[in-house]
Each structure stands twice: as C-alpha cells, then as structure tokens.
Amino acid sequence: MGFFRALRTLLGLFSTLTGGWLAYSSLMINHKMKIGSAISTVRSVFHGKNSCLLSYYADTSAGGRPLVLLHSINAAGSGYEVRPIFEQYRGTRPVYALDLPGFGFSERSDREYSITLYVNAIVDFLRYLESDPADVIALSLTSEFAARAALHHPELFHSLTLVSPTGFTQRDNQNAIQQTENNGTSDGVYRAFSNPLWSQAFYDLLVTKPSIRFFLGQSFAGQMDEGLAEYSYLTTHQPGARFAPLYFVSGKLFSRDILDEVYRKISPPVLVLYDTDPNISFDRLPEMVNQENWRLRRIPGTRGLPHFERMDKVAEALDQFWKEHRLEK
C-alpha cells in the first residue's frame, strides 16, 4: 500500500507541475516580444515562388560576386548566427543573409516545414538575386539543404562552404534527434510534440533563458557571445516561433542518405570549416578528402560556431579557398 500511495503522490505532483507550466506558458509568457534586426543593415522581403514569404538582410554597397549566408536550423535559429561573416565581408562585395522559413522575419505560419521547403527557399532566393552564381555559406543542418540545392541547381552556385555541417556522424554515434529519422519514429515524435494542447508549453521549456544559454554555451570553446544569446531568446518569443523548430527537434529535417546521395555528388567547389561540435561528430568527413572539389579546413580551438571565436582564421580559410579555385570575380 505504501508503494501505491507514493506512486499516486508522485503522479499527482507531476500532474500539478504540468498543469502549472501549461497555465504559466499560456498566461504569463510573452510570445510577442519586441525584436529588432539581427544584423544592422537593410532588410527586405519577397515571396518565394516555390516556398513562402522570405526576409533577408543585404549590403550591396560594393560590387562583385554575391555572398549568401544561411543560418542553422535549431530551436532558436536566426540571422544573428552569421552576423560575424556578414560584418567581415560587407563593403567588399554584395552580402546577403537569408531568414529561412519559420525563422527571423520570414513566414512563421502553421504549415509543414520540410526538407523540400528549405531547399526551395534557398533556390528561390538565389534565383531572386538575378546575379552571377553565388558563393554560399551554410551552417550546421542547413548545409544539407544547401548541398541538395547545389546538386539540383549547380548553375546557381559558384562555391559552397559548410560550417560544422551535419551528415558526417557514424550512425551509432548520432544524437537522439537524428536517430528518430533513422529508426522511423520522427512522425510519431512530431505528433506528440506538436499536440496543440501542449506544443507551445513544450517549446517554451526548450527556450527559457537558462536552456538557451546551456545549449548555446556548448557551441563555444570560450566565452559565449552574449548578443547571440539575447537575440536567440527574443526570436523564440515571437508569434509562430514554435512551428518550424518542432519539426527540427522531431528529427524530420535530417536525411539518412545525405553523404552518399548528395554530398558526394555535388559539383561546385566545397570548403568545410570545422573543429569540434557538441551535438555531432565528423567521423566520416575524412572520406571526402579524395573528392576533387572538396577542401577541409580545421579551425582549432572552436566548437560549433568557429566564426564567432576565430573569425580571423575563418576569413583566412575562405579567402584562400576562393583564391585557390580562382573563385574571385
């Protein structure tokens, strides 16, 4: 009897805490926080022909080949993630940073956020520029979408740089999110996370200030960038902010076939910038050494966001890569 009494007490406590958080999320958390631009420059919008309403930052004060920057996909993704690269090259060439669907000032409606949507958004934007083929830089999971875009539309890419890209982790070392796609449970996980009764409260748990600082801190070898941490909190507390991230945390945006079916087959020159990452590994990255169009460059002393901690080394690697392949316009 003592065991069952204790179990009932624990279940009652859990129910009380859950109900309390649901009420707190609904009534006390501001989901319409005031937010400014992630990058101090001109911001514009256009409607992607095959995607959705897309927002982007631009500095076109200089001529030359366009540089397009793509932030990562996570619970708190934003254009702020590419801000150091934007600032490094603005004024020397046209530089753009795209807000991907479900993030920043792009459309955050309650819709399906799929691999196809993100690939289409990248292609839509590159076509929208109506310019020479672009040098594209993509972060983390977005590397997979950019690579798919380059595979199917190589004419839009002059080069592709992948920063801490996913897709090179041995299957038995993959994290829980990646494994849901591999074992076929991502649809069920998504249905559980996205239940309208608790999806907002669940997302609010993921993006509390302590949670953001914990996970973001793992991506820095040294001190975390405070501006990025603050902006991550603001951008996650906007109308519709939860919709795209719930697809991410369910594992629905990862691809099992990305290495063999996409990375190995893309034709534009590719540079990979990496060191260590808290959520993925690069076990299979050495397999790309023999790919004629691939170059690998380690940025020592960094984690998932090397351009925040060693922008000097990142710029050196980029400039050398573009020069080596005669990619300057």
Q: What is the domain extent for residue 268?
A: 42-324
Average pLDDT, integer, range 136-165? 98
Q: Flag whether 305 is in a domain.
A: yes
Find out whether 301 and 275 touch, Cβ atoms under 8 Å.
yes
pLDDT band, residue 328 (cuts 50/70/90): very low
Residue 14: the pLDDT is 42
Q: Is residue 1 part of a domain?
A: no
Residue found under tokens 């991506």: 219
For residue 302, give the amino acid letter.
T
Q: How far apart are CA 142 and CA 165, in angstroms?
A: 8
CATH number for position 154: 3.40.50.1820
Residue 37 lies in a domain: no
Q: Flag whether 106 is in a domain.
A: yes
Rounded to two decimals, the pTM is 0.92
Rounded CA-CA distance 153/292 in Å is: 19
Residue keyed to tokens 């672009």: 134
As given in the structure block, the two tokens for residue 156 are 């839009």
| 118 within a domain of the structure (yes/no) | yes
Residue 295 lies in a domain: yes
- The C-alpha atoms of residue 132 and residue 306 are separated, in whole angstroms, by 28
Q: How confident is the model at residue 96 (pLDDT cuts 50, 70, 90)?
A: very high
* Pairwise CA distance, residues 9 & 3, whole Å: 10
Average pLDDT of the residues in 107-120 = 97
Q: How many domains does the chain have?
A: 1
For 202-236, what is each residue's pLDDT tens digit?
899 999 999 999 999 999 999 999 999 999 999 99
Question: Strand order in 67-70's β-sheet?
Answer: 42-47, 53-59, 95-99, 67-70, 134-139, 157-163, 270-274, 294-298
pLDDT at residue 6, as a whole number: 45
Mean pLDDT across 286-312 = 95
Q: Give a yes or no: residue 98 inside a domain.
A: yes
63 inside domain: yes
Full DSSP string of 128-142: HHTSSPEEEEEETTH
Q: Give the residue, 8 or 326, on which the prediction is more confident.
A: 326
Position 314 scores a pLDDT of 98
pLDDT at 13: 40
